[in-house]
Amino acid sequence: MTVPQNLFTGAMMDAAQPVPEGLIDGNKRPAGRRFNVYRNNVAVSLTEAMHQAFPVITKLLGTQNMDGLAGLFLRAHPPTSPLMMFYGAEFPAFLAQMPQLAHLGYLPDIARLELQMRRAYHAADTAMADAAFLSDLAPEDLMALHARIAPAVTVIKSSWPIYDIWRFNTEDDAPKPASGAQDVLITRPEFDPVVQLLPQGAADWIIALQNGASFGTAFEVALQSTPSFDLTTPLTMLLQGGAFIEFDRKG
Amino acid sequence: MLDQTNFNHLPPSPGVGYKPQHFQDIIENSGSVRWLEIHAENYMGDGGRPLAQLRHLAERFPISVHGVGLSIGGETPLDADHLARLKHLVSWLNPASFSEHLAWSTHESHFYNDLLPLPYTDATLARICDHINQVQDTLGRAMLLENPSSYLAFEESTWEEPAFLAEVSKRTGCGLLLDVNNVFVSATNLGFSPQQYIDAFALEKVGEIHLGGHDEDTDDHGAPLLIDSHGREVVDPVWSLLDHTLERSGPKPTLVEWDTDVPEWSILEAEAARAHDALQRVIA
């Protein structure tokens, strides 16, 4: 009796299936609960990976609920790569389609935030471009500028107060979240990702820059959603976050 | 087949599995620890702190790269993307050793994050040798293959594990990584003598020895079922089995693994010091 690997994984991921025949103990008796060692190892190690990957979601839901959710998730979405540092990419969408969690509509965006922080942590190292010349630029030259943005930099737009929720669950004495939409910026000045609240319109401006638009074109994009948009604050945030790795003055 | 007489460049001294929380302790005083082992997959990101720490440590210690995700025993072809990532890591780091497991972990593009067991048949042997040849050709170096912890056996097996591993080494030129705790776990779980297993093992092909802690459970018949958890101290019978091994093999690079419930540095270092004492006893 041979045991093909698809039979092994099928029984391993579904405890309702019988232990495959042909697996035995040292006395040639059926392996029985010995097979559960593999069932447990896979479930426990992937559940632990989900706890580590999504600590704020775990805190919001409670450890027991997160265990249950991770058990469902790991069966629906086993890892597709041995790089466990990136496990859980489907988790935000998975949370969004759970009817039981519909009353916690912010969970998927919090999961996206945690996922992107992990990606930022492992993103390529980059050196900040020299930005001293920016203060001497005439406004029209500033608007003609293009920039290459570091791979660690991410913007997350949300219709929920995700920055307040994230802070409330990661910092002591953080204020209780109010209602309202919040966009956040993730940068990695050195090794630890930094999460900051973006002013209105800034997310659109930064996303346009990431897509290759000039400062000026990106500015016009931001004005469409936020007529009062001012790039001073987000520009300072990007500079302090080491976000610019190259400037192109010719456009 | 690679012609290889020395399977790696690790010193015949104690090493430990590296955990980031021990970084500062190791830099300040590594005690008996002379080399470090990393899990390859944890250092396949693009940058950031993990790679910065690894570059720093590699200037001070020989590094062993231990893969847990290549799925050498898989029925399907090796993951070309993963093999390319491994080649990249081995190329820039130029580690003292690269090792992987006699196991599989990936099937139909799903990775199960565990080391799954294999039947020891001629078909498995041929497949394992093909995969090892592919890895060694890609990396341009010989690798070490580690014996697993077994919780069950396959009715279809026709080879004993030590003979199977010796044949893989003979056919591919790879070296072997002998995990003494795995031998003890498998021997207890499947009812064979761990000393006889060691005596049958191709010790001249061993490039590295592993030690680790295990948990205890029981099977359906109340028989002991040991689980290779790497979450506690190495037990005394495993230290005795290490002595039994070293008396026959001579000193070898000897690693203590502690991967879950990782203790403070002093406790892990004390385990390495015990391995140091065992190695001293066999140095003439």
What is residue A250's predicted lDDT score, i.e. its pLDDT? 67
Burial of B25 (0-12, 13-18, 19+ CB in 10 A): middle
* DSSP-derived 3-state class of residue B14: strand
Phi, psi torsion values for A112, nearest 5 degrees: -60, -40
Residues A146 and A248 in one domain: yes
From the CA of A189, how many Å to the nearest CA of chain B? Answer: 10
CA distances from residue A232 to A44, A145, B4, B247 in whole angstroms, order as listed:
48, 15, 62, 71
CB pairs under 8 A between A and B: 144
Q: Is A46 within the bounds of a domain?
A: yes
Identify whether the C-beta of residue A183 lies closer than 8 Å to the C-beta of residue A157: yes
Arithmetic mean of pLDDT, A210-218: 97
- Provide the domain limits for residue A7: 1-104
- Provide the domain limits for residue B75: 14-282
Among B111, B155, B220, the residue with its CB nearest the CB of A82 is B111
Q: Do the strands B104-107 and B110-116 form a parallel or antiparallel pair, or are they unpaired?
A: antiparallel
User: Does the CB of B114 have a partner CB in chain A at under 8 Å?
Assistant: yes
The residue that leads in pLDDT, B109 or A46, is: A46
* DSSP-derived 3-state class of residue A30: strand
Residues A93 and A136 in one domain: no
Q: What is the mean pLDDT of chain A?
A: 96
User: Does the CB of A188 have a partner CB in chain B at under 8 Å?
Assistant: yes
Task: Please tell me the distance from the alpha carbon of residue B164 to that of residue B158, in angstroms, as a whole number.
Answer: 9
B262-267's contacts with Cβ under 8 Å and 24+ in sequence apart are B262/B19, B262/B21, B265/B22, B265/B25, B265/B26, B267/B233
Residue B230 has pLDDT above 90, yes or no: yes
Q: Is A119 within the bounds of a domain?
A: no
Instruction: Read off the pLDDT band of B280 (50, 70, 90).
Output: very high
Q: How many structural domains does chain A have? A: 2
pLDDT tens digits, one per residue of B121-130: 999 999 999 9
Q: Is A112 within the bounds of a domain?
A: no
What is residue B54's predicted lDDT score, i.e. its pLDDT? 98
Q: Is B1 within the bounds of a domain?
A: no
Q: Is B3 within the bounds of a domain?
A: no
Task: Please tell me the distance from the alpha carbon of residue A225 to that of residue B280, in angstroms, as a whole number.
Answer: 72
Residues A65 and A168 in one domain: no
Contact B152 A27 (CB under 8 A): no
Task: Please tell me the distance from the alpha carbon of residue B284 to that of residue B275, in angstroms, as a whole number.
Answer: 16
Residues A243 and A130 in one domain: yes
Q: Which two tokens stand for residue A89?
A: 């990419």
Q: Which two tokens stand for residue B284?
A: 């003439």
Residue B278 has pLDDT above 60, yes or no: yes
Q: Which residues of B touch A122 (CB under 8 A)?
A: 45-48, 50
Residue owning tokens 């495993």: B238
User: Does the CB of A35 have a partner CB in chain B at under 8 Å?
Assistant: yes
Identify whether the C-beta of residue B206 lies closer than 8 Å to the C-beta of residue B175: yes
What is residue B3's predicted lDDT score, i.e. its pLDDT? 40
pLDDT tens digits, one per residue of A56-111: 999 999 999 999 999 999 999 999 999 999 999 999 999 999 999 999 999 999 99
Q: Which residue, of A50, A75, A104, is where some domain finishes? A: A104
Name which of A25, A38, A50, A51 to mutate to probe chain B: the one with the most chain B Cβ atoms within 10 A of its Cβ.
A25
Residues A132 and A69 in one domain: no
What is residue B6's predicted lDDT score, i.e. its pLDDT? 59
Q: Is A115 within the bounds of a domain?
A: no
Q: Which residues of A touch B104 (CB under 8 A)?
A: 5
Interfacial B residues in 131-150 facing A (CB < 8 Å): none
Q: A189 to chain B: nearest residue by CA? A: B48
From the CA of A87, how many Å to the nearest CA of chain B? Answer: 10
Contact B154 A81 (CB under 8 A): no
Name which of A12, A33, A52 to mutate to probe chain B: the one with the most chain B Cβ atoms within 10 A of its Cβ.
A33
Interfacial A residues in 147-186 facing B (CB < 8 Å): 151-152
Arithmetic mean of pLDDT, B236-261: 97
Contact A35 B152 (CB under 8 A): yes
* DSSP-derived 3-state class of residue B179: strand
Q: Which two tokens stand for residue B223?
A: 């028989």
Task: Please tell me the distance from the alpha carbon of residue A96 to that of residue A57, in angstroms, as a whole number.
Answer: 13
Q: Check which CATH number belongs to the domain holding B240 and give it.
A: 3.20.20.150
Task: Please tell me the distance from the alpha carbon of residue A116 to that of residue A89, in angstroms, as a whole number.
Answer: 9
Residues A90 and A128 in one domain: no
pLDDT tens digits, one per residue of B136-167: 999 999 999 999 999 999 999 999 999 999 99
CA distances from residue B103 to B108, B120, B125 in whole angstroms, order as listed:
16, 11, 12
Arithmetic mean of pLDDT, B235-239: 98
A247-251's contacts with Cβ under 8 Å and 24+ in sequence apart are A247/A129, A247/A131, A247/A133, A247/A145, A247/A146, A247/A147, A247/A148, A248/A145, A248/A146, A248/A147, A248/A148, A249/A141, A249/A144, A249/A145, A251/A144, A251/A145, A251/A146, A251/A214
What is residue A144's predicted lDDT score, i.e. its pLDDT? 96
Q: Is B5 within the bounds of a domain?
A: no
From the CA of A170, how many Å to the nearest CA of chain B? Answer: 20
Contact A37 B227 (CB under 8 A): yes
What is residue A1's predicted lDDT score, i.e. its pLDDT? 82
Q: What is the pTM of this model?
A: 0.95
pLDDT tens digits, one per residue of A106-156: 999 999 999 999 999 999 999 999 999 999 999 999 999 999 999 999 999
Residues A88 and A165 in one domain: no
What is residue B8's predicted lDDT score, i.e. its pLDDT? 73
Contact B48 A125 (CB under 8 A): yes
Instruction: Read off the pLDDT band of A229 (50, 70, 90).
Output: very high
The identity of residue A15, as a single letter, is: A
Contact A8 B223 (CB under 8 A): no
Interfacial A residues in 212-251 facing B (CB < 8 Å): none
* Backbone dihedral region for residue A229 (phi beyond 0: left; psi -120 to 50: alpha; all else: beta): beta
Q: Is B161 within the bounds of a domain?
A: yes
Q: Which residue, of A49, A76, A104, is where some domain finishes? A: A104
The identity of residue A248, as a single letter, is: D
What is residue B284's predicted lDDT score, i.e. its pLDDT? 67
User: Does the CB of B112 have a partner CB in chain A at under 8 Å?
Assistant: yes
Task: Please tell me the distance from the alpha carbon of residue B193 to that of residue B138, in angstroms, as a whole number.
Answer: 37
User: Does the CB of B107 have a partner CB in chain A at under 8 Å?
Assistant: yes
Q: How many structural domains does chain B have? A: 1
